[in-house]
Each structure stands twice: as C-alpha cells, then as structure tokens.
Copies of this chain bind each other. A is one copy, B any other.
C-alpha cells in the first residue's frame, strides 16, 4: 500500500522509523530482537528487520504508514504469551515487530460509569490491580495475566476462568482506539453502554489478532468487587462403573478413560445447573479435571495436593463470588453440594475454609495446565455444554484408536463447554510416537468437535497454528466473508500477514 514518499529499501525504512520513533525505540541488533522473534513456548520462530516500540497512537500510525509504504509487514506484539504464534513474525516476509509495551498508561477510571481506559501495553494484571485500588473488579483472568498485555488479550479475545459469569474479553470491551492499515486512527465506541450509530466495528478488532488493525487503547467494563467468595471441590460420580446395559459384560470391567470423563462431565454439568439456579448466576468459575488430569496434576512431590487422595473420578472446582455483604455463599454452596451428594452426582466434596484453603484447591486446577515432560499436543475446543460428555467419549475413543495408550489430559471450563483436550505420549513411550501422529490425532479430535457443532479453537485463536484448519473447516460463506473484510480493511496485507487467514 505505497503512500507518498514510498520507499522499498529496508535500510531507508529503519532510518525513517528511527527518525520518527527514536533510535532507542527502533532496534535492529540481534540480542534485542531475539525475544521478539520466538513465542513464549518456543514453538514459532521468525525474523524481523527491527522491533519498534512506539510511545503513543500517533507513533503507531507512523510506523504502520512507513512500513506500508516500504512494503514491509507490521507484526503487533504484546506480552508474547499467545499459544498459536499470532504475535511471532514469519521467516519469509520482511517484517517489523511493533511492540506495544511502552503504551502501558492507565488513562482514567470512571467510577460512576464503571469503566477503565488503558493503553494497549498495560498488562491484564495491572488493569485488574488498578481497578481493585478503585474498589472495582476487572474480571479477565487467565494463566498469563501477569505478562499478557491488554492489546493482545483483546486481539485474541482472551477467555480464562471468569468467562462463565463475566464473558470473554469481547464482552468487556466498551471502546477501542485502533490504527488501521493505511495509518488512519479510528475511535470505535467511547465507553458508552449504548451506541447504535452504525455498525459496531470494534468487534472486528477484538479477536482480529492484529490482522485488521492495531489496538492502541481500550475502554473496559468494570464490576462491583467480589467481597466474598466460596470455593469447593468435589469428586464427580463418573469414576464409578456405569450400570451395565443389556448385553454388555457384567460388572467388574474397568471403565474406559473416555467413559469416565464423559460421565463425570455430565454429573458436573448437572451440579453447575443447580448452582447457577440457586445462586442467581453468581458462579464465577466452574472448572473440571478428568481422572487422568487429576492424577497428573497431583503427581508431583511438593506440588498440588489432591484433597481427596488418589481416586479415579473427575474433579469439579466451583467458585461463587458476591459483592453483596450480607450473604452466606458458603451455606448456599454446601446446600447444593449436599443435595448433589444425596443424588449421587458427586462422591465427596470439600468447601474451602478461608482463602488459603481455596488457593490450595485452585493449585490443583493450575497444575493441570502446567507443562508436561516430553510435551503435549494441545487442543482447545468448545461445544455446547450438553455435548461435552459426547465429545469426551468420542474424542477419547478416536485418539485411542490412532495411538494405543495415549493419555488424554482433559480439563477446562466446563460451564462454557470449553475443554482443553491435551494429549500425552503413552506411559514410558518415546514422546516422538505422539508427535509422529500429531496430524492424525488433531484431525480426529477436530472431526469429533465439528460433528458436534463445536469450535476447534475456543479461546486461543488461530495465529499461525490453526490457519490451515480454519481454511479447511470454516464454512465457506463465513470464510469468504472474512477474506472480504480483510481485503476491505488491509488490501495490501500490511498487518500481521500469514496469521488467521
């Protein structure tokens, strides 16, 4: 997209960028560049002419304009915590990494309107911390929140553990300032709760992964703070052998991993339904761990401790929160779990006594997401909640048919139908046997997901990783629409090429 004063010499571009943004913030030396050219998990490696760190939106616009004129790609990068390579430049496309890290200013808090306006480079944890100081809650919360930046969190429509109650990043976005591919600046939404003056364009950039524009500033929704919290963990009845169907072997046959997971998830959904109903929807987290995940998460000496000791059932972690002072959330939780116990949905339960005990329950969930020796193949799927048991049974059977003994480390946000269906090599096997079958295994998991009307990327996005899957699995009319939008907004392909589409 050449503009006036266009140039095609990369050295000239660097000179222009340094003149505009400052030499200190336009770096080309290998050591400085290195961390920007690889993702946090070291799965994606790329190359760049420079990394530039603009001070403000005007700077960002200048960078995009200069790069566009030079025919050089702009790759926006926040905290670099993404899981799909969306912020890593390609190796074979001349690129500049645009780091938003200097634009971390908290611009303002509107206590009456319950909003916060921040630069894209502020971390998710900083935003939540500033909101908390003002007596308000910013609910977005996920593993990488300490280093993930708001711009990246919005660009990937981040999810996490509070989506059930507060929605994904998208639901929290009331306004954006975006630099477009031609270097123009669009303010979309103004922190208003209602604005029907034309198309709601901000939703193109939330989840757009930097391919349609660069998010520079955001106005985000805040909520009354959680003044009390009740957290519990329970074993789900899925560990028991199911009642034998006519013609099936008598009792005693060990239940398959998939069947146990499916039954556990089904029981967990029933408990969740009761909790939502009893608490007026104030369930802020409903996390589920399969039997295998439970075992793995609590296997490390000195790591997370299984509150029930070793067992073959799935685990459910639920948390209620309220900003209301006089309520007894703990009693409510105990009542619902007591009934669930009486009805055989859960086998055992513990309600955390104080925040340290709650923290210990959360450690079990967090341990589920930890890196495993030898590596794993990660999938982040979603189906409508009612289909979760079918998904678990069918997907487990499908991967077991491809690689006997494969371990399914499945856990996730049960209330959203969002399962992290991660695969590990069979016990004792060389990890290569797993990765040798990666395409087959992933294809099988996604085929099951698709047949159940689900999503093959619920919260992690597309990036580089799932670009082929998107082209293959997205319904043609929707995919064609995406291409038309990309062509309309970035005809020269300046912004984050090779990602998403």
Contacts and interface: CB of A to CB of B under 8 A. Distances in A.
Nearest to A170: B200
A454 interface: yes
A229 B224 CA distance: 20
A281 B185 CA distance: 35
Contact of A458 (B196, B282, B383, B488): B196
Nearest to A335: B326
A194 interface: yes
B112 A269 contact: yes
Nearest to A158: B196
B113 A385 contact: yes
| Interface size classification for chain A | 35 or more
Contact of A207 (B112, B200, B458): B200
A57 to B, nearest CB: 12
B112 A385 contact: yes
A356 interface: no
Given A113-B386, A458-B194, A200 B157 contact: yes
Contacts of A386: 110, 112-113
Main secondary structure of the interface of A (DSSP, over half): loop
A299 interface: no
A462 B197 contact: yes
Given A417-B192, A475-B187, A489-B481, A223 B382 contact: no
A324 interface: yes
A113 B223 CA distance: 24
Nearest to A169: B196
Contact of A198 (B159, B460, B500): B500
Interface string A58-94: 0000000000000000000000000000000000000
Given A194-B382, A207-B199, A273-B112, A481 B180 contact: yes
Interface string A167-181: 010110000000010
A330 interface: no
Interface of A: 110-115, 156-157, 159, 163-164, 168, 170-171, 180, 184-188, 190-201, 203-204, 206-208, 212, 223-224, 269, 273, 276-282, 322-325, 327, 332, 382-386, 413, 415-418, 453-462, 466, 470, 473-475, 477-482, 484-485, 487-489, 500-501
23 contacts: A110-B384, A110-B386, A113-B386, A114-B276, A163-B194, A171-B171, A180-B477, A186-B481, A190-B455, A192-B454, A192-B455, A192-B458, A196-B462, A197-B474, A198-B478, A200-B204, A201-B481, A224-B277, A224-B280, A278-B325, A279-B324, A281-B323, A324-B332
